[in-house]
Amino acid sequence: MILPKSNRLQPDQVAEITHIVEGFGCKIQPIVGAVRTIYAIVGDERDELMITRLEGLDYVERIDRIQSPFKLMDKRSDLATHRLTIGGVTLGEELFVIAGQCTIDPKNPEFFYETAHAVKEAGANALRGGVWKPRTNPYTFQGDTKSLEILMEASRRTGLPVDTEVMEESHIHLALEAGVGTLQVGARNALNYSLLRAIGKAIADRPNAVLLKRSIHMGPVNEFISAAEYIAAFGNPNVILCPRGTTPTLDGYRNHPDESITPLLKEKTWAPVVVDPSHSVGKAAYVPACALAAVAYGADGLCIEAHVKPSAGIGDDPKQALTPEALTKTIAQARALWNLLRS
């Protein structure tokens, strides 16, 4: 990581360091912060001669070397002070809540509009709604691009920023063009490195964020953070880690709830953690306890499925969506606990 003496390097300086690092098989990736731009050396940065040459440049303050598979997302990185603000909430400063339907029903948009209003009333900061759905059963509803219009209309009506899952490159571009702020990577694609790279490239120069679910298999902490690094390596570090339960499942739950991974993540990365209790447990009755447990474990936020009328929903909603009443209570309790733990 190159820290210049000034807030950012001049083009001729970037050209000079690019020339140096390319000679050692590396590349330079600017990470643009609000005030200062730092420059990640992407590649194997262990060559002493390369470091010495960079340190010899009079416009370079210092070179930070982090031997980590995720040097941008690493807690020791110069990005550790980077903060994400979504829906008026700076993650880490107050509990951030995304809520909404698992799946938008394109035949019944009114449900989604009502859910969006209810979610806002309940105190959520962002709205979720599945447009394209990864379904285990290939014969069930797979989502519909028409739902993207419904999602954006709900965003306009409520003023809430939105989150939706993208599963392929075409979805990324459609979602960004429509104005989706947060792209979700689902548990099934969490280790799909070409998708992660495509997202990283697409949002490199944009203020968008990514909600990266933990892979469905019980993978190690480093694997999860390294997946986030794939996105950040293109220049946009706005990645939120989202534990959502793993397999093998815990008897009776949909997955093995993994909100307890949060302190382990926080030991290694500065990335915010937003836990999804809905997919962790898979039943509406168990979701509030899992949400509170996540807050107790130090989560910065929650991603909760909710529906004005769960029984009329499609996708996961009939099983695991909270009603507006249950969501309101869960958010209030989660915020109270979050504040209590920090008082």
Query: In the structure encoding, which two tokens stand for residue 285, read together?
Result: 């009755």
Residue of 17, 102, 295, 304 interacting with ligand PEP (CB under 6 A) = 102
Under the binding rule (CB under 6 A), the answer on residue 282 touching ligand PEP is no
Kindly report the CA angle at 340 between 336 and 343, in degrees rounded to 5?
135
Q: How many residues bind ligand PEP (CB under 6 A)?
A: 12
Among the listed ranges 60-68, 80-88, 182-190, 308-316, the one in contact with Mn ion (CB under 5 A) is 308-316
71 binds, among Mn ion, ligand PEP, none (CB under 5 to 8 A by kind): none
**Could you tell me if 183 and 211 are in contact, meaning their C-beta atoms sit under 8 angstroms apart?**
yes
Q: Which is nearer to ligand PEP, 259 or 276 (CB)?
A: 276
- Give Cα separations from 70 to 136, 254, 284 (angstroms): 31, 30, 35
Among the listed ranges 143-151, 154-162, 248-256, 309-317, the one in contact with Mn ion (CB under 5 A) is 309-317
Kindly report the CA angle at 199 between 10 and 190, in degrees rounded to 5?
130
Under the binding rule (CB under 5 A), the answer on residue 316 touching Mn ion is yes
Under the binding rule (CB under 6 A), the answer on residue 244 touching ligand PEP is yes
Least distance from Mn ion to the Cβ atom of residue 279, Å:
6
Most distant CA pair in the chain: distance in Å?
Answer: 66
Residue of 186, 200, 237, 324 interacting with ligand PEP (CB under 6 A) = 186
Residue of 120, 171, 279, 307 interacting with ligand PEP (CB under 6 A) = 279
Query: In the structure encoding, which two tokens stand for residue 201, read together?
Result: 């490239």
Residues numbered 38-67 forming contacts with ligand PEP, rule: CB under 6 A: none
Long-range Cβ contacts of 153-158 (<8 Å, 24+ apart): 153/109, 153/113, 154/112, 154/113, 154/115, 154/116, 154/127, 154/129, 155/116, 155/127, 155/179, 157/113, 157/116, 157/117, 158/116, 158/117, 158/119, 158/120, 158/127
The helix/strand count (H/E) of the chain reads as 12, 14
Under the binding rule (CB under 6 A), the answer on residue 310 touching ligand PEP is no
Residue of 82, 120, 171, 213 interacting with ligand PEP (CB under 6 A) = 213
Least distance from ligand PEP to the Cβ atom of residue 25, Å:
36
Under the binding rule (CB under 5 A), the answer on residue 102 touching Mn ion is yes
Quickly list DSSP for 27-66: EEEEEE-SS-EEEEEES----HHHHHHHHTSTTEEEE---
105 binds, among ligand PEP, Mn ion, none (CB under 5 to 8 A by kind): none
Under the binding rule (CB under 5 A), the answer on residue 190 touching Mn ion is no
Q: Which is nearer to Mn ion, 147 or 236 (CB)?
A: 147
**Interface residues toward Mn ion, by CB under 5 A:** 102, 316
**Interface residues toward ligand PEP, by CB under 6 A:** 102, 130, 134, 165, 186-188, 213, 244, 276, 279, 316
